[in-house]
Structure 1
Amino acid sequence: MAAGSRGAPSMTNSDVVELADGRASLVVSPREGAAILRYDALRPGRAPTPLIKPSQGMLKFGSQLLVPWSNRISGGGFEFDGRFHAIEPNVEGEPFPLHGDAFQRPWRLTQRTGTEMELALEDGAIGPYRYHAGVRYALEDGALSAVLAVENRAAVRLPYGLGFHPWFPHRPRTLLQASAQRVWLEDERHLPTGVVPLASRPDWDFSHAAPLPDAWVNNAFEGWNGRASIVQPDDAIVVTVEASPSLNVFVLYSPARDADFFCFEPVSHPVDAHHGGGLTTLEQGGSTSARLRLRWDEL
């Protein structure tokens, strides 16, 4: 990844880094896991319109990076190549290790212009994982591009996953369009119990733009084509989501009809994939990457 450095300010350890291109602004916190704090649409004569919504919960920002895996790992760890790798829970109140550790570590700003930035995490370490990660954020005509990469620096090969965890505003008229083929059901521990055709759950079928369910949903959807739309009539905006082919699963989290947020998470594998499959095996020194693009347009 190489964002040009022309006109780049000197690198500092500031709490936030801001980008803008006239149609959108972006605020990122290197110290807080390279999380996106704000991504706003800029329109003449109007206040900035939040396109993502910072959370007030455990993941308290607008969008987190998921490295070296997404979601939960059960069983106290996982077996790989005939060896059991233990992983302790990493989030208070959670019985299972969750979302890796990249979102919990400070990243270093390495390059920046007015519309692009690159950040690096050089000491990722959780359970058996030792890795280097990098992310490049860029704005272009209001669209946000995020490219996330990871390199295995452990002494053994290991299974890796990547993902993005953006939070979006949920209003009474919000609509979601995202085509999938199957959905994983979950138990009370938020672990998968089995996968069913999406046709068996018409209330979770978003092949055409539809409101979010009234009741709790926290499920992984497989067979996603990497495109989605989030329609926000109250803001006269539609957000288009485009993900690289490696991100062929999305996790939808919407706790209730009256919640003012929901999560649409493009990820590379289902929940608890260390015990089921879908991860990418990386040899020592091997790497993989994923890309997410968010674009907003007027309705």
Structure 2
Amino acid sequence: MGAGLARLWLGDRPLLRPWSGIKADGPFALAMNLLAPFSNRIAGGFHHDGSDYALPPNLPGEPLPIHGDAFQRRWLVTEQTDNSVALQLPDGSFGPFRYGAAVRYRLDEHGLAARLELTNLGVMALPFGAGFHPWFPRSSQTQIRFDASGYWPENAQHLPATRAAVALPPDLDFAGRRGLPHGWINVGFAGWTGQTQIDQGPDAVSVRVSSDDLHTAMLYSPSAGADFFCFEPVSHPVNAHNLPGRPGLVTLAGSDSLNVGMRLDWGLSDDRSA
């Protein structure tokens, strides 16, 4: 199931929404997914270095390709200790992408670190991306705080409605701690500073999401009635392969690699007022 995480608990309190335990529910019922060789949706394909590349849809009910296919493949456990595990995907293939991937998860007293490496195994240089897709519990007490420089509004196809990121409207400015919107939200934030605080209330565990490598973040939740939301540190915005300048994508020649990491720390208080 794509080397995703099934559960992450602190005592009897979930830090991530636990896996349903039912394999038929699919990988997105897990607590976290890995995204490679790109994240989120691409508008059917892209043009690169004089050639057009088509990408097939890869999920039922989704007309566009989404999140690559590393999350749908079988990975091999290559190393395991009391507090860490390494897994490898030796033969990833999606459209023109031929790639290998490796991930290491490591637990310590205060957090979980994840590091994902993606290698171009093909002969063509292509634009690659990667990211992490954690699913957090959501309740009426959930609040988040993070800084970003702008965002990409979403159109009816769940693609960016603008060619470049635009200024944040007041209701999407999370620089001060605030609750999630009551309705649908599925937008990408540009210029994420790599730190997000998630406060789940006095009876739950605060979590800090951080990354030194990833500067775009997706925020998704269908409504206040959902028991989850997603805050996804990723390398690039939705449909970056077809945006000017291909923000966040990295062109990898054969045997070149992209290495990104994310960390979840718990029990840390926010050092800024709401």
Which amino acid is the alignment partner of residue 203 of structure 2? D
Which amino acid is the alignment partner of residue 255 of structure 2? G
State the structure with bigger RCO (CA 8 A, min sep 6), 1 or 2: 2
Q: In 2 relative to 1, CA 137–296 (structure 1 residues): closer, same or farther, beyond 3 Å?
A: same
The answer to whether the aligner puts 1:289 opposite 2:259 as a matched pair is: yes
Which amino acid is the alignment partner of residue 184 of structure 1? W
The answer to whether the aligner puts 1:268 opposite 2:235 as a matched pair is: yes
Does the aligned pair in 2 maintain the 1:54–1:63 contact within 8 Å?
Answer: no
Residue of structure 1 in register with 2:99 after alignment: 131
Does the aligned pair in 2 maintain the 1:164–1:265 contact within 8 Å?
Answer: yes
Matches within 5 A, 1:147-166: 147-166=115-134
Residue of structure 2 in register with 1:142 after alignment: 110
Which amino acid is the alignment partner of residue 288 of structure 1? L
Residue of structure 2 in register with 1:15 after alignment: none
Q: What per-residue deviation string (whole Å, max 9, x for no partner) do you get for residues 253-296 of structure 1?
A: 01111211100000000000110112100010000110100010
Does the aligned pair in 2 maintain the 1:236–1:298 contact within 8 Å?
Answer: no
Q: What per-residue deviation string (whole Å, max 9, x for no partner) do you get for residues 3-54 of structure 1?
A: xxxxxxxxxxxxxxxxxxxxxxxxxxxxx10010101113xxxxx2110004
Residue of structure 1 in register with 2:212 after alignment: 244
For residues 78 and 113 of structure 2, the distance between their equivalents in structure 1, rounded to whole angstroms, comes to 17
Which amino acid is the alignment partner of residue 35 of structure 2? L
Residue of structure 2 in register with 1:61 after alignment: 30
Does the aligned pair in 1 maintain the 2:34–2:131 contact within 8 Å?
Answer: yes
Which amino acid is the alignment partner of residue 138 of structure 1? R
Which residues of structure 1 form unaligned runs of 5+?
1-31, 43-47
Does the aligned pair in 1 maintain the 2:145–2:175 contact within 8 Å?
Answer: yes
| Secondary structure at 1:91 match in 2 | coil
TM-score when normalising by structure 1: 0.84
For residues 238 and 128 of structure 1, the distance between their equivalents in structure 2, rounded to whole angstroms, comes to 41
Does the aligned pair in 1 maintain the 2:114–2:261 contact within 8 Å?
Answer: yes
Which residues of structure 2 form unaligned runs of 5+?
270-274
Does the aligned pair in 1 maintain the 2:199–2:207 contact within 8 Å?
Answer: yes
For residues 175 and 218 of structure 1, the distance between their equivalents in structure 2, rounded to whole angstroms, comes to 17
Q: Tell me the number of residue pairs that the alignment of Structure 1 and Structure 2 aligns.
A: 259
Q: In 2 relative to 1, CA 70–298 (structure 1 residues): closer, same or farther, beyond 3 Å?
A: closer
Residue of structure 2 in register with 1:33 after alignment: 2
Percent identical pairs in the alignment equals 45
Q: What per-residue deviation string (whole Å, max 9, x for no partner) do you get for residues 96-137 of structure 1?
A: 010001000010000010001100000100000111100000
| Secondary structure at 2:153 match in 1 | strand
Does the aligned pair in 2 maintain the 1:41–1:142 contact within 8 Å?
Answer: no
Residue among 164, 179, 192 paired with 1:211 = 179
Residue of structure 1 in register with 2:272 after alignment: none
Residue of structure 2 in register with 1:87 after alignment: 55
For residues 55 and 207 of structure 2, the distance between their equivalents in structure 1, rounded to whole angstroms, comes to 37
CA drift of 1:151 comes to 0.5
Residue among 229, 237, 245 paired with 2:197 = 229
For residues 37 and 55 of structure 1, the distance between their equivalents in structure 2, rounded to whole angstroms, comes to 5
Matches within 5 A, 1:12-51: 32-42=1-11, 48-51=12-15
List, as ranges, runs of 4+ consecutive aligned residues in structure 1 with deviation greater than 4 Å.
55-58
Structure number with the higher strand fraction is 1
